[in-house]
Amino acid sequence: MPRFFIVLLSILFTLAVLHAQEGEQLPPPTADEVYAKKSIERHDFDEKKWTVLKEGIDYSISKEKKRKEKAKKEQKEVELPSEGLTGLGPVLKIIGIVVLVGLLVLLIVKMAGGESLFGPKNSKLKPAVSQAELDEIEENLHEAELQDPIQRAIAGGDYPMAVRLYYLAVLKALSVKNHIRWKRDKTNGAYLRELAGSPLFGTVQEVTLAFERVWYGKVTLDKRDFEQLEIKMKKAVATASA
């Protein structure tokens, strides 16, 4: 080991020993220790002198002061519950803020979905197009006017009914152009077989599958999904009518 490091270690060791010795020195005695070592002087009690000194002292003031302090302490103990309730103020404020934020988020979600916050959902209690009206349309499809009930179904949020009416509009256009023979009791598969080999087959097959998923498969549609499907339905009606 180099001599320099040996000297450095020696110096550090010496300093550490000196510091330890300084730390072991006893601290100076405290005032209590000095007082405890003093000798106690004895003094006899002078009863006559004490009698003279206590004359004129009104102990009622001291008693009244103690009575007031006791009453004040009891009053403070009674007020403790109200102080505890006061401490709940910040907690209640935080809860109120959380509730308001939750209501705001709910309002934004409802508005984004095109729904009313306090109104009935999709007018389920009173459908925009009743089953009786739908039966009447299917019984007289060639003479039926479909645009008004379609718009009422959309306005009422009844997207499955709107899709069914659009599909009836497609079948009506195909029947008017003699591409198919309309009968209320015929299946969709029967209509597709009639269109086999026709340029219309692919378009009609696509909207037929979409209609069956929504109407029979009970696939849920939101506003955006319906708007995308509506484009295809309108295109199929226009193609069938050409």
In a structure prediction context, what are the per-residue pLDDT tens digits for the chain, which is 242 residues long?
Answer: 555 556 556 666 666 655 555 555 556 667 666 666 666 666 666 666 666 666 665 555 556 667 777 777 766 655 545 445 455 566 666 776 766 666 766 666 665 555 554 444 444 457 889 999 999 999 999 999 999 999 999 999 999 999 999 999 999 999 999 999 999 999 999 999 999 999 999 999 999 999 999 999 999 999 999 999 999 999 999 999 98
The residue written with tokens 């095109």 in the block is 114
Distance CA 129, CA 131 (A): 7
Distance CA 136, CA 113 (A): 32
Instruction: Return the domain boundaries, the chain.
Output: 92-121, 131-241
Distance CA 137, CA 168 (A): 9
To the nearest 10°, the Cα dihedral for 223, 224, 229, 231? 110
Distance CA 170, CA 207 (A): 9
Sign of the Cα torsion 179, 232, 201, 188 reads negative
Q: Which CATH number fits domain 131-241: 3.40.720, 3.30.420, 1.20.120, 1.10.260?
A: 1.20.120
Count the Cβ atoms, other than its own, within 10 Å of residue 211: 22
Does the reported pTM lie above 0.85?
no
Q: Which of 162, 161, 181 is nearest to 171 (CA)?
A: 181
